[in-house]
């Protein structure tokens, strides 16, 4: 076994690991980045980027097939060439991966080690069967992987996860998507819009990332109107039959159905990659799922010289959070024991379905827990169904619920299903991070006619409910028609 001595070792060369490496390098020269798979990141290889590429193709197909209400007719069929769709997804995906790999290539070869790391002790890692790394400080940045009932493995190659979808050479005829969460909705709706027959099954009624029952119900109805979605499905049997998967379920009318599909796509959540790290060999405190407990401001675990970042921490499994956490963890590993708290931004999440879904600041559940007991918050809302610009574009589906604190009038958070929610969410997240009140937000400029005017309507509604402004009149004509 080769022996290597370093000040900081980082396990995992994904988004969090790369950010940790760069931050640690600013503090010390002695940093080692250990990657057990391929460099390129989950985001670029099998996550954010290829999923958005598939969504872009689906949007093009959907728009082309829905021009008639505008008086525009595309004569003849809109033809979807599955091979070409998947070719573009893979080509562009490879380009994005290429950029990451190029950046990794620029890292000094002495600072990189290929192999899977496991803990021997708090300060010692074994890398495959070739190297022992003695590290004064360690950052765990090992990401996450799909999690699904193990019995589904009996389906063999008919069971797919997101990683497999982006390697398809052609689109299949039919897919049963299990899990109407973030991944299931993004991929399921895209596949449906690209002509794949999609059946979507959920558990317990959960749809998307929502905690607000009104917003979730709106999302469920909207997606159910487009493809088969049962968010609280009663699936009796799943079985491989030759080259397909046979699914027996009780449909929403209570009738037993038997359907054959080409694939079962498991989108039933992700689990942190911390179970093969030999964590039993170190006195790390973990939560009930076995995930190391870490301070979200310093990313320090209960073993002071060990930090954790990104999906591995199971805190907020999103790309920008992985980058922020990696930076904090790497910097603190570099300066340990003189660690510092890092910048934590207001929370924001967006799901790129149509309509889009978004969450900002505190969720409805968090607001209810924190402010609900004393009736200390109010909810303002707007429906996008009659919102002017949304209607102009025939994107008039959605509901925005905003939460504000009684007394202070402070903006607390929002849950959104609606057109261009990714942009509305940014606007709201910036206001949230600046600790703005609803009145201050209403002092900001709003152009006409834009979807953001819907946000203003919800803000006015909330201000009135907080008794900080006058009650809304239904048509605010001085605001412009359709606000
Ligand atoms: C389909 C999909 C779509 C997504 N879309 C979005 C989106 O639109 N927006 C968004 O914000 N987020 C999105 N995400 C989430 C986002 O991709 C992740 O939050 C982010 O990539 C996590 O980065 P990470 O550095 O923690 O993990 P990763 O990038 O997975 O890096 C972990 C690395 O650790 C390595 N590793 C694991 N174990 C070991 C070991 N023992 N030794 C050495 N190396 C090891 C792995 O090989 C991997 O390279 C999406 C995720 C998926 C799956
Ligand atoms: N746009 C984005 O930012 C984006 C996109 C994709 C993924 N992500 C990240 O990836 C994470 C994981 O996404 P995900 O969709 O895998 O998880 P998720 O937690 O969002 O959704 C999982 C869904 O599967 C359901 N489920 C669980 N077991 C089931 C079963 N046996 N049968 C049917 N349904 C079942 C759950 O009720 C839930 O609705 C997200 O939390 C998010 O952080 C983000």
Report pLDDT digits (tens) over 125-147. 999 999 999 999 999 999 999 99
**Final residue of a structural domain among 248, 269, 290:** 269
402 & 281 share domain: no
Total tally of structural domains belonging to the chain: 3
Q: Are residues 461 and 353 in the same domain?
A: yes
Asked if residue 142 and residue 10 are part of one domain, the reply reads yes
Give the ligand with the smallest distance to the CA of 235: 2
DSSP 19: H
341 part of a folded domain: no
Domain for residue 131, yes or no?
Answer: yes
Per-residue pLDDT for 476 more than 90?
no
Together in a domain, 202 and 279:
no
DSSP one-letter string for 177-221? EE--SHHHHHHHHHHHHTT-EEEEE-STT--TT---HHHHHHHHH
Which range, of 121-130, 287-296, 310-319, 473-482, averages the lowest pLDDT?
A: 473-482
Residue 353 shares a structural domain with residue 448: yes
Report d(CA 459, CA 476) in Å as an integer: 13
CB of 40 shorter than 6 A to ligand 2: no
In terms of domains, do 159 and 292 share one?
Answer: no
Q: Give the residue numbers spanning the domain of 136.
A: 2-37+115-146+271-335
Kindly state if the Cβ of 267 falls inside 6 Å of ligand 2. Answer: yes
Q: How far apart are CA 9 and CA 289, in angstroms?
A: 25
Res. 480 pLDDT band, cuts 50 70 90: confident
Do 324 and 358 sit in the same domain of this protein?
Answer: no
User: What would the pLDDT profile of 440-457 be if each residue is shown by its tens digit?
Assistant: 999 999 999 999 999 999
pLDDT per position as a tens digit, 49-77 = 999 999 999 999 999 999 999 999 999 89
Q: How far is the CA of 49 from the centre of ligand 1 (A)?
A: 12
Q: Predicted ipTM?
A: 0.98
CA dist 449 and 470 (Å) reads 23
Q: Are residues 133 and 26 in the same domain?
A: yes
Identify whether residues 8 and 135 lie together within a single domain.
yes
Q: How far is CA 59 from CA 56, 400, 428, in A?
A: 5, 22, 25
- Confidence band for 470, pLDDT divided at 50, 70 and 90: confident
Q: Which atom of ligand 2 is nearest to the CA of 178?
A: 33
Same domain (yes/no): 128, 254: no
Q: How does DSSP assign 458-480, residue by residue?
A: HHHHHHHHTTSSPPPPS--GGG-
Same domain, 201 and 218: yes
**Cβ of residue 179 lying under 6 Å from some atom of ligand 2:** yes
Residue ranges of E strands in 183-283: 197-201, 228-230, 234-241, 244-250, 256-261, 263-266, 270-272
Residue 154: inside a domain = yes
- CATH code (residue 233): 3.50.50.60
Expressed in angstroms and rounded, the spacing between residue 182 Cα and the centre of ligand 2 is 5
Check if 188 has its Cβ closer than 6 Å to any atom of ligand 2: no
Enter the pTM of the model: 0.97
Q: Are residues 470 and 410 in the same domain?
A: yes
């Amino acid at each position: 076994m080769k022996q290597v001595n370093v000040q900081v070792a980082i396990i995992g060369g994904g988004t969090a690991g790369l950010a940790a490496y760069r931050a640690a390098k600013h503090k010390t020269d002695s940093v080692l980045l250990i990657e057990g798979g391929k460099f390129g990141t989950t985001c670029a290889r099998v996550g954010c980027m290829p999923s958005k590429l598939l969504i872009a193709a689906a949007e093009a197909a959907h728009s082309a097939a829905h021009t008639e209400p505008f008086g525009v007719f595309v004569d003849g069929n809109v033809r979807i060439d599955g091979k070409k769709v998947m070719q573009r997804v893979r080509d562009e995906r490879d380009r994005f991966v290429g950029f990451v790999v190029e950046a990794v290539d620029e890292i000094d070869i002495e600072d990189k080690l290929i192999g899977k790391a496991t803990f021997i002790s708090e300060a010692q890692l074994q890398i495959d069967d070739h190297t022992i790394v003695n590290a004064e400080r360690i950052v765990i940045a090992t990401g996450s992987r799909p999690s699904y009932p193990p019995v589904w493995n009996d389906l063999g190659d008919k069971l797919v996860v997101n990683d497999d979808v982006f390697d398809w050479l052609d689109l299949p005829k039919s897919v049963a998507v299990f899990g109407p969460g973030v991944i299931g909705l993004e991929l399921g709706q895209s596949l449906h819009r690209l002509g794949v027959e999609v059946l979507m099954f959920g558990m317990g009624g959960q749809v998307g990332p929502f905690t607000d029952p009104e917003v979730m119900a709106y999302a469920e109805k909207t997606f159910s109107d487009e493809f088969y979605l049962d968010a609280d499905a009663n699936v009796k049997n799943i079985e491989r039959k030759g080259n397909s998967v046979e699914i027996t379920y009780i449909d929403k009318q209570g009738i037993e159905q038997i359907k054959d599909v080409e694939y079962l796509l498991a989108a039933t959540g992700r689990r942190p990659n911390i179970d093969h790290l030999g964590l039993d060999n170190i006195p790390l405190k973990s939560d009930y799922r076995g995930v190391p407990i870490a301070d979200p401001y310093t990313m320090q675990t209960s073993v002071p010289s060990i930090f954790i970042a990104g999906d591995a921490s199971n805190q907020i499994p999103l790309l920008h959070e992985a980058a922020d956490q990696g930076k904090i963890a790497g910097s603190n590993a570099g300066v340990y024991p003189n660690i510092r708290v890092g910048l934590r931004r207001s929370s924001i999440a967006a799901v790129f379905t149509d309509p889009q879904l978004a969450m900002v600041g505190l969720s409805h559940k968090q607001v209810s827990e924190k402010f609900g007991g004393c009736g200390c918050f109010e909810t303002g809302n707007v429906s996008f169904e009659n919102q002017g610009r949304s209607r102009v574009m025939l994107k008039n589906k959605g509901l925005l619920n905003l939460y504000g604190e009684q007394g202070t009038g402070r903006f607390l958070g929002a849950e959104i299903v609606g057109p261009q929610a990714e942009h509305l969410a940014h606007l709201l997240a910036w206001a949230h991070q600046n600790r703005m009140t609803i009145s201050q937000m209403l002092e900001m400029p709003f152009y006409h006619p834009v979807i953001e005017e819907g946000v203003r309507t919800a803000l006015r509604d909330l201000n009135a409910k907080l008794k900080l402004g006058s009650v809304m009149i239904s048509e605010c004509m001085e605001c412009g028609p359709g606000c």
